[in-house]
Each structure stands twice: as structure tokens, then as C-alpha cells.
Amino acid sequence: MEKVTGRPLGEEITRRVIERAGLRHTYFRTPTGTTMTPKAALTTSPTRIRPRGWAAGQIISAPRDVNRLFSALLVGRPPPAAQLKQMRTTVPAPAPGNGVRYGLGLTSTPLTCGGVAWGHGGDFPGYHASDAVTTDGRAATIAVTELSGSPARPQHLTTDIDTALRQ
């Protein structure tokens, strides 16, 4: 993005995504550990969170903003139909299992109620986020900052998301 726009990644993400979606509790953390613009305090002090994943893990967000973003993307103000169709064109993602499929920045996960949840969670050492929204706008996000070494922990969070989104 920086090569194409000639501007810093954090500024472009802030302008193109964070501000456009009205995310008031989300920001791109700069490599120096300072924020680009002050945002409302999160439950955990951002000064204590030090992920260094650049584009893959530099955004700090409150769960309600994550829900707002995915709801806007998939239900409220989606991108043009052709782009959303491309994002929803998926292939099997064997690592997470349980029928999860991956598209352009989105995962689709079958729900036990028969529906499908769309989202894009992720992991960073010590952190895990699970998020999803249904096509009728129900959304849920769970973020954990101290994962045990057990591989069952993220699966437990997937189960919790499924429970929250059941019809």
C-alpha cells in the first residue's frame, strides 16, 4: 500500500478504513509504540500491548468496533457487489478445521444452527481474536490476551462465537 500510495501504511488504514467506518476505539499503532491519533481508552491500556506484526497485527481495536466493521462490510455498507463476491469466494482452510473456508480477507465458518459466519480472526504470540458476523447482521467478537499453551483454547473460543450467533 505504501508503494502504491506513497503514504505511510498506518495513515492509509486510518483514512481508508478506521475513519470511513466510524471506528472510534480503533487505531494503528506505530512502530515507536505511540498512536497516530488519540482514541478512547480501551479496557487494557494500549501502552501495555506491544504486538509487532506491522500490517498483520498493528491495529488495536475494541470488540464493538470489530463488530461494527464486519457488520458494515457484510451487511450495512458493503463494497461493490463484484468485490464482495470475490471476498466471499472461498477455498478450504484445513488448519482451523470444522469446515472453515478462506477467501480474500474473510473466513466463512459454518454455524451449528445451519447458518454461516463471516469474519477474520487471528493469532499473535499471547493473543487470539475470534470474530464473526452473520448475513442478517448478528455479530460477536472475543479477544483473549493470555492464551494457555493448549491448542484447544482457540477452538473453545470458536465454540463460544458459534453459541453467541445461534439463531
pLDDT of residue 84: 87
pLDDT at 6: 94
> Is-contact 108 129, C-beta < 8 A?
no
Per-residue pLDDT of the chain (167 residues; tens, 9 = 90+): 899 999 999 899 999 889 988 899 998 877 655 444 434 334 444 445 455 567 767 788 888 999 998 888 888 777 888 888 898 999 988 766 678 899 888 889 899 888 899 998 877 777 778 889 998 888 998 888 765 655 555 667 778 888 898 86
State how far the Cα of 37 lies from the Cα of 129, in Å rounded to an integer.
23
**Alpha carbon of residue 75 to chain centroid:** 15
Domains of the chain by residue range: 1-61, 63-167
Rg of the chain, C-alpha, whole Å? 16
DSSP per-residue letters across the chain: -HHHHSS-HHHHHIIIIIITTT-TTEEEBPTTS-BSS--PPPSS-GGG-----GGGT-EEE-HHHHHHHHHIIIIISPPPHHHHHHHT--EE-TTT-TT-EE-SS-EEEE-TTS-EEEE--EEETTEEEEEEEETTS-EEEEEESS--S-THHHHHHHHHHHHHH--
| pTM (two decimals) | 0.74
What is the reported pLDDT for 96? 60
Q: Is the separation of the CB atoms in 139 and 132 below 8 Å?
A: yes
